[in-house]
Structure 1
């Protein structure tokens, strides 16, 4: 029995994400919450012949509390989408308050749930959730995750395209570390599995072009949609992929590894290794994590990277530290 809650279920990411979760046979309960339309989305999905019982809730009559009661996994795609010319940081002014209020609801109703944050900017919204949980005295660093899976999906897809081997995309896994916006995104093509050919890894022009595309893939979608939306479908796919890994790990399956933006103290030993590899005391980082029944089992080391990949670290860390401080400062002194 696994109950998953989607907060922001009627939105551009929320609807396709909820659809994908409804088709997952392991999900037995699917609770949808939004400020509008969630009951309609729930009824629509309930007609699909898979096991999950679907319910939809709106704010009146303590709808958020009803949605979260008994939750085991909570996914947060809520917030406004990016528009042309808008950065993830621009989103912060709007989405920070939304995430804060939802995090407060989780902390007071389902504090033991695994919280998966999709709402951008993830580099700042994950610290917001953490600080809210700290203020309520229910913080468990092993249970709060920033969903960065889309960066891996993009890196794998774009590398396969560059090699003119589209069938490779579904098999290729390119680790992506750092954060989840712009220069904080660090694709590590040298660690791809299966390994990429040396001709690819030694072509700096190609690497720079694909690294830029992975970092700013969201801009590519926003521009292509001409103001009508952002990366919703690919993000829903990535989110559902991460949820499935969490479900499998919580159910006892071993050796489940996924990239995610986490509080490094969730595994003190592993986190210390990451900080040593980076040469800085950054509190959050997106890195491969081994998942288990309690959430974060082990933070895996970054490992060997190329000189080109290493050269990207300094800029990424500077921006990431600013993003994290922005999220923490938003909650500091707030009355919750």
Structure 2
């Protein structure tokens, strides 16, 4: 049985993400957890004619039941970004939510794959890892920051100015992190089309700050929930294809703990960081191999340097939060 748990299933990302996951034949049990409304979402999705069982779990008292036996836990829980907010602003609210969920995962499903969507990912992934370290159950191959939306946006935005670039079949490597200047799309490695320096500059900025477009367009009513749900489902499906079906050669960009993952030594030395988003080959145990950074243009090297500077602070903030703030008992 493959049980996938969505924590925050009644939210703006959680509902469409759960809908997309219900369509997967890789999932036999889809468990939906939230502090409210998860039962209604589960009842609704349970009417869809795919084989997976759907259960709803509401409130902290139901969290243990939701997580028990989980193969994969996807965490989109938290508050959305509003106009004028940065991902860093979200930290004050979402850090505690993610920390408490990580505590519960470490206790009730310590061997599960943990996929973190809750922003700011640059800090929330270190929170999850530190919680698992404290519990003595940390496996760096199994904790992922879902940065797939940056990859999806990259292909989409390139297609907008170069229609001959097919966005669904051509994947663009994105390295660094998952906020603003920490997002570095490696446009120099695209072989199908060429760009002017002006096009590269404009594309890079749009990819880095694409989330702001959605926040502004929704005018206070939310952030990038639908595209994030799509990206989250894509990464979850890739991981399940590799871990359940044993499919080889699946590569996704993802924000991970470098130390302890095969192939990550070069990236750790070159960045000086514990966490970094990079292309990863997925396998039965999660991370099978971290691919080395591709050749970078001079402009991309400069952007990576800026990203590293920001990521150091983001990572420290997540680690320090686990040290300084006691966890809730779940």
Q: Is the 8 A contact 1:266 1:296 kept in 2?
A: no
1:177 corresponds in structure 2 to: 175
Indicate which of 186, 193, 196 corresponds to 1:197.
Answer: 193
Return the match for 1:271 from 264, 268, 278.
264
Normalised to the residue count of structure 2, the TM-score between the two structures is: 0.96
User: For 1:1-336, what aligned pairs fall within 5 Å after superposition?
Assistant: 1-59=1-59, 62-165=61-164, 168-192=166-190, 195-198=191-194, 200=195, 203-251=196-244, 252-268=246-262, 270-276=263-269, 278=270, 280-336=271-327
Inter-partner Cα distance in structure 1 for 2:93 and 2:326: 18
Contact 2:162 2:193 in 1 (8 A): no
Query: Which whole-Å deviations, capped at 9, do the CAs of 1:113-164 have from their partners, x for residues lacking one?
Result: 0000000000000000001111111111110000000000000000011113
Segments ≥4 residues shifted beyond 6 Å: none
Q: CA deviation at 1:243?
A: 0.3
Q: Is the 8 A contact 2:127 2:322 kept in 1?
A: yes
- 1:246–1:295: 8 Å Cα contact kept in structure 2? yes
Q: CA deviation at 1:83?
A: 0.3
Distance 2:257 2:214 in 1: 29
Query: Aligned partners of 1:134, 1:164: CA distance in 2, in Å?
Result: 46
1:119 aligned counterpart, secondary structure:
coil
Deviations 1:30-64 (A, max 9, x none): 0000011000000000000001100001115x200
Q: 2: distance between equivalents of 1:266 and 1:236?
A: 29
Matched residue count:
326
In the TM superposition, residue 178 of structure 1 has moved relative to its aligned partner by 0.3
Q: Is the 8 A contact 2:259 2:268 kept in 1?
A: no
Q: Is the 8 A contact 1:189 1:196 kept in 2?
A: no
**Structure 1 unaligned regions, length at least 5:** none
* Whole-Å separation in 2 of the counterparts to 1:283 and 1:96: 19
Consecutive unaligned residues in structure 2, runs of 5 or more = none
Instruction: Calculate the TM-score normalised by the size of structure 1.
Output: 0.95
1:95 and 1:335 mapped to 2: Cα distance? 15
RMSD: 1.1
Q: What CA distance in whole angstroms lies between the structure 2 residues aligned with 1:209 and 1:71? A: 42
Deviation string 1:64-95 (CA, Å, 9 cap, x unpaired) is: 00100110000000000000000000000000
Q: Measure, in 2, the Cα distance between the counterparts of 1:54 and 1:164.
A: 40
